[in-house]
Amino acid sequence: MQDRTYTADAEPGESATVAGWVHEIRDLGGIAFIILRDVSGKIQIKFEKDEMDDDLVETGLGVSRESVISVTGDVEEEPRAPTGVEVTPESVEVISDADPELPLDPSGKVDAELSTRLDNRTLDLRKPEVQAVFTIRSEILRAVRERFRDLRATEITTPKIVATGTEGGTELFPITYFGEEAFMNQSPQLFKQLIAGSNVERVFEIGPIFRAEEHNTPRHLNEATSIDFEGAFCDQSDAMDVAEEVVVAAYEAAAENCADELETLGLAEEFEVPNDGFPRLSYEEAIERINATGELDEQLVWGDDLPTEGEKALGDDVGGHYFITDWPSEIKPFYIMDHDEDEQLSTGFDLMHPRMELVSGGQREHRHDELVAGFEQQGLDPDQFEYYTKMFKYGMPPHAGFGLGGERLIMTLLGLDNIREAVLFPRDRQRLSP
């Protein structure tokens, strides 16, 4: 395959072998064209029926759309061709003949339901606007990791098979592990803390998390990509700084390195990198502002979790990314530290996009005895977590961190309607395959 030329690299005046998918066949009678598509773009193949070998014409024009062919011939300038060049074939090889009945039209001329698209991802991804999402996703992952490294964080890998869930036994997928009960991990939370407490100090991980939540919404997945950070000698304010930097880095990377893909998605004009300095609202201010919008039937009172409509109303009101800080301790998990001055208030924070929550974070409880007491307060058995709590007896520094939903970041950044569009093979209650 080494002598294959990408369609975008085929230079007029040379002979080249190009290979890819038959995107379109236009038969005008005496002359016919195939538009051949590969990862780099498209190129026109010209068949002048009277001047060419019959077998060659028959082979070339006998294929159906989406077949894979390889074409060798001279590349020439042709201003009327879509990309300004065309190939006059000397040979055509049909590598993989496609069934003419496609379950999905990759040209995008016929709309398809999301479920049909997901059942036929190979075909779906041949659409430029779908491929663009995943090219941008790949670039965002790169940029986010780079930013973490700039902040002196070490990339870690933590186990996905665990003996106990991060937050107890709810919403866990059980697995059978050599006869023992185990679970698929909900979050790298406890593990990243154990590493931040060694003198690695700052760590990040981008990996899968698994949640057996019975949600069925456009913004929940049962298997998702979590972008996690944890830093020793950090407080919640430092963690918010890092979360903000990482989100901004994702937007910057898309703007700087994915201009073509944003264009393909029709976002080139409107795409904006958010300014840093996201507003930081306390939970108390947040409920006051939500109540003031008058969008909710019932006024929120201190201690309530924010309902989805409340988040939406506040998002519209703020109009950009923002933090909600100082949540009631009761709403936040045991590993979040309370404020020194007020035990009812936690150091937990959320980073919100106007459409939804992206990040949950906070300063962690690093004091052994307070941590163990927190387990008990939340009805969890601290003995089950001894592998974790015991390390807090041997010099655990103050530390803070967050988890950022990878698909939510991509979904909000690109304005996708459904989170399933931000992942190749989504997993939800109904979907286990492909």
- φ/ψ region of 239 (left if φ > 0, alpha if ψ in -120 to 50, else beta) reads alpha
Please, what is the minimum distance in Å from the beta carbon of residue 109 to a copy of itself?
16
User: What is the distance between the alpha carbons of residues 337 and 270, in angstroms, rounded to a whole number?
Assistant: 40
**Active-site residue among 67, 226, 346, 360?**
360
- Pick the closer one to a copy of itself by CB: 30 or 434: 434
Look up residue 81 and give its DSSP letter.
S
Residue 376 is among the residues annotated as catalytic for this protein: no
What residues contact 104, with CB distance under 8 A and at least 6 apart?
112, 116, 117, 120, 123, 124
Cα angle: 171, vertex 176, 178; to 5 degrees: 150
Scan residues 68-107 and list those touching a copy of itself (CB under 8 A): 68, 95-99, 102-103
Beta bridge partners of 346: 338
Residue 289 is among the residues annotated as catalytic for this protein: no
Scan residues 243-302 and list those touching a copy of itself (CB under 8 A): none
Residue 431 is among the residues annotated as catalytic for this protein: no
Give the CB-side neighbour count of residue 246, counting CA atoms within 13 A: 32
Candidate ranges 66-74, 78-86, 297-305, 335-343; the one touching a copy of itself (CB under 8 A): 66-74
**Active-site residue among 353, 366, 408, 420?**
408
Q: Which two tokens stand for residue 14?
A: 């040379």
- Pick the closer one to a copy of itself by CB: 200 or 273: 200
CA 219 to chain centre: 12
Scan residues 25-44 and list those touching a copy of itself (CB under 8 A): 37-39
Residue 115 is among the residues annotated as catalytic for this protein: no
**Active-site residue among 126, 137, 147, 220?**
220
CB 391 within 8 A of CB 399: no
- By the rule CB under 8 A, 169 interacts with a copy of itself: no
- Pick the closer one to a copy of itself by CB: 137 or 321: 137
**Cis ω on the peptide bond leading into residue 434 (within 30° of 0)?**
yes
**Active-site residue among 219, 321, 366, 420?**
219
Please, what is the minimum distance in Å from the beta carbon of residue 26 to a copy of itself?
18
**Residue 405, annotated ligand binder?**
yes
Please, what is the minimum distance in Å from the beta carbon of residue 307 to a copy of itself?
25
Residue 142 is among the residues annotated as catalytic for this protein: no
- By the rule CB under 8 A, 46 interacts with a copy of itself: no
Pairing relationship of beta strands 356-363 and 180-184 according to DSSP bridges: unpaired
Among 91, 154, 282, 291, binds a copy of itself (CB under 8 A): 154
Scan residues 390-419 and list those touching a copy of itself (CB under 8 A): 390-391, 393-398, 406
Residue 219 is among the residues annotated as catalytic for this protein: yes
What residues contact 323, with CB distance under 8 A and at least 6 apart?
240, 278, 279, 280, 281, 349, 350, 351, 352
Look up residue 385 and give its DSSP letter.
G
Scan residues 334-353 and list those touching a copy of itself (CB under 8 A): none
**Residue 220, annotated ligand binder?**
yes
Among 72, 158, 264, 412, binds a copy of itself (CB under 8 A): 158
- By the rule CB under 8 A, 49 interacts with a copy of itself: no
Among 135, 166, 186, 412, binds a copy of itself (CB under 8 A): 135
Size of the site for a copy of itself (CB under 8 A): 103
Q: If you compute the radius of gyration of the chain from its CA atoms, what whole number of angstroms results?
A: 27
Q: Which two tokens stand for residue 307?
A: 């309902």
- By the rule CB under 8 A, 141 interacts with a copy of itself: yes
**Residue 364, annotated ligand binder?**
yes
Cα angle: 279, vertex 327, 241; to 5 degrees: 40
CA proximity to 43, closest of 13, 104, 92, 88: 88
Residue 211 is among the residues annotated as catalytic for this protein: yes
Q: Which two tokens stand for residue 324?
A: 């909600």
Give the CB-side neighbour count of residue 252, counting CA atoms within 13 A: 13
Among 83, 120, 282, 293, binds a copy of itself (CB under 8 A): 120
Please, what is the minimum distance in Å from the beta carbon of residue 12 to a copy of itself?
23
- Pick the closer one to a copy of itself by CB: 223 or 284: 223
Q: Which residues are catalytic?
A: 211, 213, 219-220, 357, 360, 408
